[in-house]
A and B are shown apart, each in its own frame.
Chain A
Amino acid sequence: MDQILLQAEHITKKFPGVVALNDVSFDLRAGEIHALCGENGAGKSTLIKLLSGIHPAGSYEGWFMVDGTEVRFSSIADAGRAGISVIYQELALVEEMTVAENIFLGREPRRMGVLVDWPKVYRDARALLARFKVDLDPAARVSDLGIGQKQLVEIVKALAKDSRILILDEPTAALAEHEVLILLEILRDLRARGMACIYISHKLDEVFSIADRVTVLRDGATISTKPAKQTDKGMVIRDMVGREIQDLFPRRAGHPGEVVMKVDGLNADTGVAHGLALRDISFELRAGEVLGIGGLMGAGRTELLMHLFGAWGQRRSGLVALAGQEMRAASPSSSIRKGLVLVSEDRRRYGLVIENGVGFNMSLSSLDQFTRFGVVNRSREMKRSRELFDSLRVKATGLDAVVGRLSGGNQQKVVLGKALMTGPQVVLLDEPTRGIDVGAKIEIYELVNQLTAEGKAVILVSSELPELIGMSDRILMLHEGKIGGEFTREDATQERLMEAAMGGEMVSAN
């Protein structure tokens, strides 16, 4: 029980412009479940990626030891041979294959060296499933399983490799209540057999029901490691957010005007069973106001913005009105015409045509403005692009510069420029400062101030609580597709927001 199986010593990992992990130390004992907690971006995923060989040895400082000897992984396979298995949030199963095929994928038992021994695959799979009390048919196709059952297959697959160290990254994010119970039961069983487990979860109730020790990471550093019995939810939350809001957020609140957008009793989903659904969402947005929306990963923040914009899910019930007019079955093009525009969190995927120029991208949503008799007036178009290029202070050689070669901050400015050129009344910003440097961040905050000063309304989605509190006039926290709490700027604290995001009791009674 006390034998240390895995040890991380003074790990520092830098990405260009960011220190993801700063001198982190961590250990894991045999027969222990060690929970790892932290906000989005605290460094949990980076640590896992180092442990599993995704970021190879040599790309970081510090060292890892398994059984007291140093290990240097250069690939996932290396980590696997050392007995480390990772189960990610996004499942890595081949949907079209059966449960048994997935369990033995890449290590199929052979006959005469070349032919797959299928009877053995199914025999062994059945034995494994039975051993872990998982009631699944090895011949069932994975695409026919529910998400919880898939998670179980993923775990059995990891166990089939004789792993000694199991890393679970948000394993219950998509599970139903009873599936969570099965999973936790399996983990307790494994622990009794001496398996060591790193358990990453935002759900603190789960953490405290199963973990032996809890380590909190914040801003890439270890804040605390304590036995679960000597700490509690409140302390963990404080450790997770414990930052002071610096004067980084120059929000100048104005006087909110009339309601420009009204959402009433909105229910929407993609029609996929077990998928995320938005449930019973209602709010009002006023001119000149910044409405912040927070929540943990998978809480439905992005989906809510995309749905309002007409790019995600189907509306089951409820009403969305823009400037007093109901918006039904909106598409991005109709939303833009009505004065609603979205800046996506994933700019390379949803924001930019990466091989084309700055000017091409900036005017992409607004070509109608410059078109007469079907022909685009290039000169007027370039003139308008130039104005935004200058006012946003895009650092590039000119409108012809290929956007793929610009820095993240400048790419984001191009996306913002494209959104602004449409002349919107409501601007939906999804993680507008993700992955960009501090200087550009402040410029974006100033832009938000300028927009609201002009009477436009902004919805700001952010997973950074200080940014959310610093820049919003009001904040909605989402929890599993529902509103978990609403806060004014004055009574929003990081602790309260985090609690609401985790579905805790409503702190603020509005």
Chain B
Amino acid sequence: MSSRLSLRDFSVGIALLLMGGFFAFKEPEFLSARNLSQLMTELSIVATLAMGMLLIILGGHIDLSAGSGVGLLGGLASVLVMQHDYSAPAAMGIAFVAGVVLWKAMGALIVMERIPAFIVTLGGLLIFKGMFWRTIDNSTIPVAPGGTSNLYSLLTTYYVPPKWGLMMATVLVLILVVITLRTRSQRLADGFEVESREIAFLKVFVAGQGMFLFVLITNQFRGVPLPALILGMVTLIVHVLTRHTAFGRHLYAIGGNEEAALISGIPVKRVVFAAFGIMGGIVAITGFMQTAYVGSSTTTVGELMELDAVAACVVGGVSLRGGRGSVMGVLLGSLLMVTLLKGMGLMNVSPEHKFMARGAVLILAAWMDVRLNRR
């Protein structure tokens, strides 16, 4: 339960550096502000979905329908805006609620009727895909009328002005300092050991440096992209859920040993049901970002994204049997998968080779996981 970086996170970090170094060496364009900013946006979209996937997998389930859901809910919002004259916020609100309802329905089948999540969400993958194509009538529907912008289209075209970005980073670092100090003093008051002053300072310092570095880099190209803020919010929420609420602890326990969780008095069904509800909301948010990033809803939006999200989790050390995994790991895993994809894109690797490389990295990560755990 500690926030310490594991050996695994460390090895993913090294793999990331090696990979980034390789791409930067082969294609200097990789380190350009523009490319890094795009990378951030793409990371934000994949990682947001992976955060939801983390909640599902922690409880010992899986969601294969997420990619179809991304297409469907983004498409629904587009259709409402373009064909029914809804305002962008209303359209997204409706699609968001639809996502929560659909995922709760799948959750109900899984917990009440005990149909395996693999099957329910595989069915969902096909059903949502069909619903998606029907919704957009197999055509291309933009997120905003030509030449205009709305909240929907701004999702991936808005950048936080550089000055505001720096101010935000400052405020966040201050909050981090306050929280660290408060936690420390309470633990000390309760007679627990805490890490040394130097280590605590170093941690806050590195985190702060990272945040400022991030803002400074993105400021080179227009500023912090809005999706990064959205990812930040989602990550924070999922982090608090998993680490600081009874819900999250119960989820770990269910994934670790469902029978023991039940005997321990955990409302197993309610917890898993809630996780699916949250996933529905996250799929909707991802759908809006991905559709806005593409610029319009077309039949291919969201395709295979469920696998990207699962891969990000596995690379990030989340156990598919449930009960093990962290927000930090998923962030790193997502970054690795997105870096791989982006770097290969810059090097003009053909799509068929991209698929193979992604598959190989996924299997490699899972193999490493097995080896590291065996020890």
Point out residues on A near B: beta carbons under 8 Å: 309, 311, 331-333, 335-337, 342, 344, 349-357, 359-360, 363-365, 367-368, 371, 374-376, 378-380, 382-383, 386, 400, 418, 422
Q: Are A364 and B266 in contact (CB under 8 A)?
A: yes
Please measure, in the bound complex, the distance between the C-alpha atom of A54 and the C-alpha atom of B263, giving whole angstroms.
32
Instruction: Report if A367-B260 is in contact (Cβ < 8 Å); known contacts: A336-B265, A357-B1.
Output: no
Interface size for chain B: under 10, 10 to 19, 20 to 34, or 35 or more residues? 20 to 34
Q: Are A367 and B246 in contact (CB under 8 A)?
A: yes
Which A residues are CB-close (under 8 A) to B67? none
Q: Besides A349-B257, A353-B252, A371-B245, 6 other CB < 8 A contacts?
A: A335-B265, A353-B261, A360-B249, A360-B252, A364-B264, A376-B245
Taking the nearest CB of chain B, how far is it from the CB of A400, in angstroms? 7
Instruction: Report if A332-B240 is in contact (Cβ < 8 Å); known contacts: A353-B257, A356-B252, A374-B245.
Output: no
Instruction: Enumerate the 10 nearest inter-chain pairs by beta-carbon distance, A residue then B residue, closest first.
Output: A353-B256, A336-B265, A367-B246, A333-B265, A350-B263, A365-B264, A379-B186, A353-B257, A364-B264, A332-B265
A-B contact pairs, 7 of them (CB 8 A): A353-B257, A354-B257, A356-B1, A360-B1, A365-B265, A374-B245, A382-B192
Q: Are B1 and A353 in contact (CB under 8 A)?
A: no
Taking the nearest CB of chain B, how far is it from the CB of A381, in angstroms? 9
Please measure, in the bound complex, the distance between the C-alpha atom of A365 and the C-alpha atom of B261, giving whole angstroms.
8
Q: Are A380 and B265 in contact (CB under 8 A)?
A: no
Q: Mark B339-366, 1 if CB is under 8 A from A, else 0.
A: 0000000000000000000000000000
Which B residues are CB-close (under 8 A) to A350? 259-260, 263
Please measure, in the bound complex, the distance between the C-alpha atom of A374 and the C-alpha atom of B249, giving whole angstroms.
12
Q: Are A352 and B257 in contact (CB under 8 A)?
A: yes
Which B residues are CB-close (under 8 A) to A368? 246
Point out residues on B near A: beta carbons under 8 Å: 1-2, 183, 186-187, 189-192, 240, 244-246, 249-250, 252-253, 256-257, 259-267, 323-324
Please measure, in the bound complex, the distance between the C-alpha atom of A20 and the C-alpha atom of B318, giving whole angstroms.
41
Which A residues are CB-close (under 8 A) to B252? 353, 356, 360
Which B residues are CB-close (under 8 A) to A351? 260, 263
> Which residue of chain A has the shortest Cβ distance to B186 in the bound complex?
A379
Which A residues are CB-close (under 8 A) to B2? 400
Instruction: Report if A354-B256 is in contact (Cβ < 8 Å); known contacts: A333-B267, A344-B263.
Output: yes
Q: Are A380 and B256 in contact (CB under 8 A)?
A: no
Which A residues are CB-close (under 8 A) to B262? 311, 332
Q: Are A382 and B264 in contact (CB under 8 A)?
A: no
> Which residue of chain A has the shortest Cβ distance to B182 in the bound complex?
A379
Pick from B186, B189, B244, B263: contact of A311, CB under 8 Å: B263
Which A residues are CB-close (under 8 A) to B261? 353, 364
Pick from B183, B266, B323: contact of A356, CB under 8 Å: B323
Please measure, in the bound complex, the distance between the C-alpha atom of A466 and the C-alpha atom of B191, giving whole angstroms.
43
Which A residues are CB-close (under 8 A) to B249? 360, 363-364, 367, 376
Q: Are A332 and B264 in contact (CB under 8 A)?
A: yes
Taking the nearest CB of chain B, how far is it from the CB of A219, in angstroms? 31
Taking the nearest CB of chain A, how far is it from the CB of B251, in angstroms? 11
Please measure, in the bound complex, the distance between the C-alpha atom of A160 and the C-alpha atom of B107, giving whole angstroms.
48
Q: Are B265 and A379 in contact (CB under 8 A)?
A: no
Which A residues are CB-close (under 8 A) to B250? 364, 367
Which B residues are CB-close (under 8 A) to A375? 240, 244-245
Pick from B190, B191, B253: contact of A380, CB under 8 Å: B190
Please measure, in the bound complex, the distance between the C-alpha atom of A356 and the C-alpha atom of B323, giving whole angstroms.
9
Pick from A344, A352, A371: contact of B246, CB under 8 Å: A371
Please measure, in the bound complex, the distance between the C-alpha atom of A106 and the C-alpha atom of B241, giving whole angstroms.
50
Please measure, in the bound complex, the distance between the C-alpha atom of A365 and the C-alpha atom of B246, giving whole angstroms.
10
Which B residues are CB-close (under 8 A) to A356? 1, 252-253, 256, 323
Which B residues are CB-close (under 8 A) to A365? 264-266
Q: Are B187 and A379 in contact (CB under 8 A)?
A: yes
Please measure, in the bound complex, the distance between the C-alpha atom of A406 and the C-alpha atom of B303, giving whole angstroms.
46
Please measure, in the bound complex, the distance between the C-alpha atom of A96 and the C-alpha atom of B253, giving whole angstroms.
33
> Which residue of chain B has the shortest Cβ distance to A375 in the bound complex?
B244
Taking the nearest CB of chain B, how far is it from the CB of A411, in angstroms? 12
Please measure, in the bound complex, the distance between the C-alpha atom of A353 and the C-alpha atom of B251, giving whole angstroms.
12
